């Protein structure tokens, strides 16, 4: 019984996080300004990372942990680079 509930929660969690990614992607497409798109991308990275963690629980292996960590790192670096670009027009000064 409880295993069924957990299985349901895993599916529901993955669906909710996928919807969150769709919402973030909509914000990227819609804008209206560049900073909104960057914010949307940051949210997209974050939700993708959470989705991988939930997927990792569902599949029962800790292999997805490294992937989630890599996504978290990449999301940070790319968002910072883009914010920097919006401010100065250059990434490296």
Partner 1 sequence: MITLHALPSWAALLIALLILTGSGLALIGALGLLRFKSFYERVHAPTLGSTLGMGCILLASMLYFSIGQTRPVVHEILIGLFITITTPVTLLLLVQATLYRDRQEGRDPLDGSNRPDA
Residues at the site binding partner 1, with contacts judged by CB under 8 A: 1-3, 5-10, 12-14, 16-17, 19-21, 23-24, 26-27, 33-36, 38-40, 42-43, 46-47, 49-50, 53-54, 56-57, 60-62, 65, 68-69, 72-73, 76, 79-80, 83-84, 86-87
25/28 Cα distance (integer angstroms): 5
Query: Which is closer to partner 1, CB of 5 or CB of 92?
Result: 5
Which value, to the nearest 10 degrees, does the dihedral of the CA atoms of residues 60, 46, 73, 92 take?
160
Q: Identify which of 7, 10, 79 has the alpha carbon closest to the alpha carbon of residue 51.
A: 10
């Amino acid at each position: 019984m409880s295993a069924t509930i957990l299985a349901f929660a895993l599916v529901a969690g993955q669906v909710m996080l996928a919807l969150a990614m769709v919402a973030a992607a909509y914000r990227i497409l819609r804008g209206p300004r560049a900073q909104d798109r960057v914010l949307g991308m940051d949210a997209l990275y974050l939700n993708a990372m959470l989705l991988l963690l939930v997927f990792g629980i569902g599949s029962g292996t800790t292999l997805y942990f490294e992937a989630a960590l890599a996504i978290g790192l990449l999301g940070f670096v790319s968002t910072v680079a883009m914010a920097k670009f919006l401010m100065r027009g250059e990434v490296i000064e």
